[in-house]
Amino acid sequence: MDIYLHESQSLIDVDEHRFKVVAAGRRFGKSFYAAYKLYEQASYTEKVRSDGSIIDLAQEVVYYVGPTFKQARENLWSVMMDIGHRAGIIDSVRQNEGEIRLTNGRIIRFKGADDPDSLRGVGLSFVVMDEYAFMKPAVWEYIIRPALGRAEGGALFIGTPDGKNHFYQMWSAAMEGKDPSTEQPSKDWVAFQFRSKDNPHLTENEMESMYASLSEDARKQELEANFEATGGKVFNYAMFPVVAGGSSAGGNYVIGVDLAGFESVDGARKAKHVLDDHAIAIVRVHDRGYHVERVIHGQWDVRRTVLEIMQAYRHYRPVAVGIEQGMAKNAVEAFLKEYQERYGLWFEIIPLRHNNNRKEDRIKWALQGRADQGKITLEPDSDLDPEDKWVGKFLGQAVDFPNPLAHDDLLDAVAYTIDQLGGEGASASADDFAVFDEWTPLDLESGY
């Protein structure tokens, strides 16, 4: 076949991983690439397995699986017919059954994931699972994956995100080089992410038209392939305007810390390998509401976490500092006392308590009403280094909330800070608060 792939499609194609997970925006060229891969894989008549043995692929089938059989045919049948007939590689077609037989005897079958029993009983050498976000994960795990065993077959998962569901979970694991089923490192998995505009065949006018026709949430999902739930169930982008300096001058800073937790490794406390970061929210409380100046975040060990807190205190001079109650707070406090004594910098730590409330309820009650009334603003982060930027991450977590697969660390830190530290006392004059400060500059690397 004489097939032209654009640059982004070629990046997928030259990669040699066995299982590829591709999140792509609309009009990226997913269908054309899927058709090409189906024909390419069906053109092989034998395969050398990892043990060196050569197997005949005559009895192995290539599958194209859509959410339903009807959708599969609507998505790809005409593209397959066009490519196959132009290349002269189609021997026969059974359209009602969704079967294409090639001149080399190999078979490509169209299937629907909504009928799992129809997928059983054959050996597979390759499969494309299109719009995997709309399929049940069990179809892959219990039916398709075992059928690829004899031929050591590959799979292409391709589609546009639909929030943070099992497709997001698979994509995230593959991005980290892990097997999504076991979360263990694997050399078989890889992931890609492409926007609609990564297709060079879309004109600028067409892209502008597509952007203009969609809401901001829909643009991010449908055109930019972001795994962000559209039409946030609790929050949306408009609820958190980004305004330099906030809506009012004056007020005082408060700092709240949401810890991701620590674990003991070889006698020292190291940052836990968790999805969430530690998050330090700096909020200015003024007479009209709350201005989130910055959220410092990262996966740090306990000493680095303490140093980040102390540096934030030094820079913003808050009237209150709070840390989420729990074992992680106890670990941090021990080091905080050490550094406070070393540098003569003293401030009280207020325990931030969840009061047996579910996190979902706690965040919603703290932020939804205030944000809806326009009382919460965010400071732009355009002047920060890329690794320190936080606004986009915060907004992404807000519109995803309360998806259990989404992060909420920055959101939770701001909720704690506003709800438990942002009371009337925080807007009092800074002169009402005594601070003993004989600061000696800290170096984040050495702690001195």
Q: What is the pLDDT of residues 244-260, one digit of tens each?
A: 987 666 899 999 999 98
Task: Answer yes or no: is pLDDT of 92 > 70.
Answer: yes
Task: Answer yes or no: is pLDDT of 349 > 50.
Answer: yes
Task: Determine, yes or no, domain membership for 442.
Answer: no
Task: Answer yes or no: is pLDDT of 147 > 60.
Answer: yes
User: How sure is the predictor about 268, in pLDDT bands with cuts at 50, 70 and 90?
Assistant: very low
DSSP 8-state code for residue 117: G
pTM: 0.62
What was the pLDDT predicted at 400? 82
Which of 223, 255, 290 represents a domain boundary (last residue)?
Answer: 223
Longest Cα separation, the chain? 86
Range of the domain at 283: 237-437
One domain, residues 132 and 172:
yes
Pair 69, 115: CB distance under 8 Å: yes
Task: Determine, yes or no, domain membership for 1.
Answer: no
One domain, residues 174 and 258:
no
Specify the DSSP element, H or E, that contains 110: strand 107-112
**Matching residue, tokens 């609820």:** 239
Neighbour-count burial of 5, counting CB atoms closer than 10 A to its CB (0-12 exposed, 13-18 middle, 19+ buried): middle
One domain, residues 243 and 219:
no
Residues contacting 315, CB < 8 A, separation 6+? none
Alpha carbon distance 189, 16 (integer Å): 10
Mean pLDDT for 304-311 is 93
Mean pLDDT for 366-373 is 90
Task: Determine, yes or no, domain membership for 229.
Answer: no
What was the pLDDT predicted at 249? 67
Task: Answer yes or no: is pLDDT of 437 > 50.
Answer: no
Which of 172, 199, 223 represents a domain boundary (last residue)?
Answer: 223
Mean pLDDT for 317-329 is 90
Mean pLDDT for 272-281 is 73
For residue 74, the domain's CATH number is: 3.40.50.300
Pair 260, 271: CB distance under 8 Å: yes
Residue 445 main-chain phi, psi, to 5 deg? -80, -45
Mean pLDDT for 377-389 is 93
What was the pLDDT predicted at 128? 98
Instruction: Specify the higher pLDDT residue, 228 or 78.
Output: 78
Alpha carbon distance 232, 218 (integer Å): 11
Looking at every residue in the chain, the average pLDDT score rounds to 87
What was the pLDDT predicted at 162? 82
Which contacts (CB < 8 Å, 24+ apart) does range 144-152 have? 144/63, 144/65, 144/119, 147/119, 147/120, 147/122, 147/123, 148/124, 150/55, 150/60, 150/123, 151/47, 151/49, 151/55, 151/57, 151/60, 151/123, 151/124, 151/125, 152/18, 152/47, 152/49, 152/50
One domain, residues 277 and 197:
no
For residue 425, the domain's CATH number is: 3.30.420.240
Per-residue pLDDT tens over the stretch 216-245: 777 888 899 988 655 456 888 889 999 998
Residue 433 main-chain phi, psi, to 5 deg? -115, 130
Task: Answer yes or no: is pLDDT of 7 > 90.
Answer: yes
What was the pLDDT predicted at 209? 84
Joined together, the tokens standing for residue 313 give 């205190």
What was the pLDDT predicted at 165? 85
Number of domains in the chain: 2
One domain, residues 177 and 136:
yes
One domain, residues 153 and 249:
no
Task: Determine, yes or no, domain membership for 212.
Answer: yes
Task: Answer yes or no: is pLDDT of 315 > 60.
Answer: yes
User: How sure is the predictor about 425, in pLDDT bands with cuts at 50, 70 and 90?
Assistant: very low
One domain, residues 149 and 254:
no
Task: Answer yes or no: is pLDDT of 74 > 50.
Answer: yes
Sheet containing strand 189-194, edge to edge, reads 90-94, 99-102, 107-112, 60-66, 123-130, 154-159, 19-24, 189-194
Residues contacting 424, CB < 8 A, separation 6+? none
Task: Determine, yes or no, domain membership for 420.
Answer: yes
What was the pLDDT predicted at 438? 44
Task: Answer yes or no: is pLDDT of 201 > 90.
Answer: yes
Which amino acid is located at 136 in the chain? K
User: How sure is the predictor about 443, in pLDDT bands with cuts at 50, 70 and 90?
Assistant: low
Task: Determine, yes or no, domain membership for 2.
Answer: no
One domain, residues 209 and 256:
no
One domain, residues 11 and 155:
yes
What was the pLDDT predicted at 86? 93
Per-residue pLDDT tens over the stretch 404-420: 667 899 999 999 999 99
Mean pLDDT for 277-299 is 94
What was the pLDDT predicted at 407? 84
One domain, residues 257 and 219:
no
Task: Answer yes or no: is pLDDT of 383 > 70.
Answer: yes
What was the pLDDT predicted at 431? 42
